[in-house]
Amino acid sequence: MKRIFERIKNLKKKKTKIRILEYILLSIILIFAFLVRLYKINNPIADWHSWRQADTASVSRTFVEKGINLLYPRYHDVSSIQTGIFNPEGYRFVEFPVFNAVHAFLAKSFPELSLEVWGRLTSIFSALASTVFIFLIGKKLMGKRVALLAASFFAFIPYNIYFTRVILPEPMATTFALASLWLFVEFLDREKLGYLSLSGLVFGLSMLIKPFTFFYILPFIYLAHKKYGLETIYKTPKLLIRLLVFVNLAFAPFIIWRAWINQFPQGIPFFTWAFNGDGIRFRPSFWRWIFGERLGHLILGGWGLIVFAFGLLGKAKGTRFSQIFLLGMFLYVVIFATASVRHDYYQIFVIPAVSFTMALGTINIWNSLQFNRWAARLLLIFSLVVMFFTSTLQVKEFYKVNKPEIMEAGRAVDRLTPKDAWVVAPYNGDTAFLYQTKRWGWPAIDDSIDNIVEKGADYYVSVTLADPDTKMVRERFEVVEETPSYAIFDLNKKR
């Protein structure tokens, strides 16, 4: 009997040591995940997808300047470009501004760092939390080795490094969706209503931030069906009511938010184009861009597809969950076909499913008995090395600031014009230039210059001095300041 107790005691000690080791490894992953995302964290908002980042940061800046108001998010673009309606209040009704509220709170609380740095840090903190939830979900459904590998892929895929340090709400939406999934897994394991209710609330929050997380619902459905079966759910009123409560908590906030923002059409950008506005869905170019360029080349660096395929087709624990998760992501890119092809940041939501599949593929190849073991392992290592190298070569271009003149011109506008002046800062509709001026106004000429002046424009700033619009403005209005890089004109003073 004494020996039995000693063995039990030793087993407990061994399990404790293994658990401690797991979390040490996870902590190392998180530390390095944080460090790699600090690369060029001080970049101005003029790198890849600066237009979308500027829109997001602009809402946060308005919260800092005018106070946080979740029901009335506003930004610096008053033009009709994004909505077709003049928007003098600068309403920005896209996502429920949770990201912006957190961003603004941090920037106001710790002004030692700039608004831009805090925006990136908000996304980085979200990414680190997502890494933890991927580990916790993976550990429950696939085992600790797959969990650590999945967390590692999520943390270090070069595409994901860049797109989880941008000033966008997508990383935070992903975090809440993964947190909800983990809470749902805990509910299925413990069957405590608190986990289910919290899961529904958190999922609802993720959809408020970005409704695209709706497609994460497929793993929930799969796990519930696997645990209970459709017939059991239907014949067990208590369980059915609980799941219906989850559905209400998950979807009611989004419905209420949409009903609210419909009162402000001038603040709702055009969105129907995102579905299939150019008819690209299922055309050859759709498959090329989504599966060839984005998943195959940009995210997996070509050679990563080998590991991905082994993860997709294997029989390891948790493979079906990963497959269902990927199915949800496939439906997402199919339904939002045009947006997914045009903008590579739309693939941010796909990375957790890809990470689980890559982790399974790594384990499947490493433990394969169907091939020469050492040849298979060498192929695995070679594939991953080439994948990370190739992907890094592409992603490093995203960090480049392509038009430094807009920062120089923006500083000049901030120096020379009143704080309440409205500015026309044409940059092909890209709000990054307008953002640099720290003024409200127009990112392009959406009407005649006289009508724009009548609506309240005070200054015109340009970094394209040979542009026909700039020449027209120069002929009609007085120059405030002009250099080889930019020109500023006073729209209230005609020549």
List pLDDT tens digits, range 381-394. Answer: 999 999 999 999 99
Average pLDDT value over all residues in the chain? 94
Structure tokens at 249: 């908590």
How many CB atoms sit inside 10 A of residue 264's CB?
16
List pLDDT tens digits, range 20-33. Answer: 899 999 999 999 99
List pLDDT tens digits, range 61-91. Answer: 999 999 999 999 999 999 999 999 999 999 9
Closest by CA to 212, choosing from 268, 167, 171, is 171
Q: What pLDDT does residue 182 have?
A: 98
pLDDT band at 322 (very low <50, low <70, confident <90, very high): very high
> First vs last Cα of the chain: how many Å apart?
102
Please give the average per-residue pLDDT across 186-209, as a whole number.
95
How many CB atoms sit inside 10 A of residue 134's CB?
27
Of residues 222 and 230, the one with the higher pLDDT is 222
Structure tokens at 253: 């906030």
List pLDDT tens digits, range 460-478. Answer: 999 999 999 999 999 999 9
Q: What pLDDT does residue 1 have?
A: 57
CB 147 within 8 A of CB 109: no
Indicate where the chain has its CATH 3.40.190 domain(s). 405-494
Q: Dihedral (C-alpha) 322, 323, 325, 331: value to the nearest 10 degrees?
A: 160
pLDDT band at 6 (very low <50, low <70, confident <90, very high): low
List pLDDT tens digits, range 126-152. Answer: 999 999 999 999 999 999 999 999 999
CB 338 within 8 A of CB 273: yes
φ, ψ at 480 (rounded to 5°): -90, -45
Closest by CA to 362, choosing from 385, 388, 387, 380, is 380
Q: What pLDDT does residue 316 have?
A: 87
Residue type, 328: G
pLDDT band at 13 (very low <50, low <70, confident <90, very high): low
CB 475 within 8 A of CB 444: no
Please give the average per-residue pLDDT across 25-48, as a whole number.
96
CB 445 within 8 A of CB 424: yes
SS3 at position 441: strand
What is this structure's pTM?
0.94
Name the fold adopted by 405-494.
D-Maltodextrin-Binding Protein; domain 2 (3.40.190)
Q: What pLDDT does residue 409 have?
A: 96
Q: What pLDDT does residue 438 have?
A: 96
Percent of the chain residues topping a pLDDT of 70 = 96
Structure tokens at 451: 């009508």
Q: What pLDDT does residue 3 have?
A: 62
List pLDDT tens digits, range 245-264. Answer: 999 999 999 999 999 999 99
pLDDT band at 494 (very low <50, low <70, confident <90, very high): confident
CB 44 within 8 A of CB 87: no
Q: What pLDDT does residue 495 have?
A: 79
Residues 489 and 417: their CA atoms lie apart, in Å, by 10
Which residue do the tokens 């009709």 mark? Answer: 80
Residues 432 and 413: their CA atoms lie apart, in Å, by 14
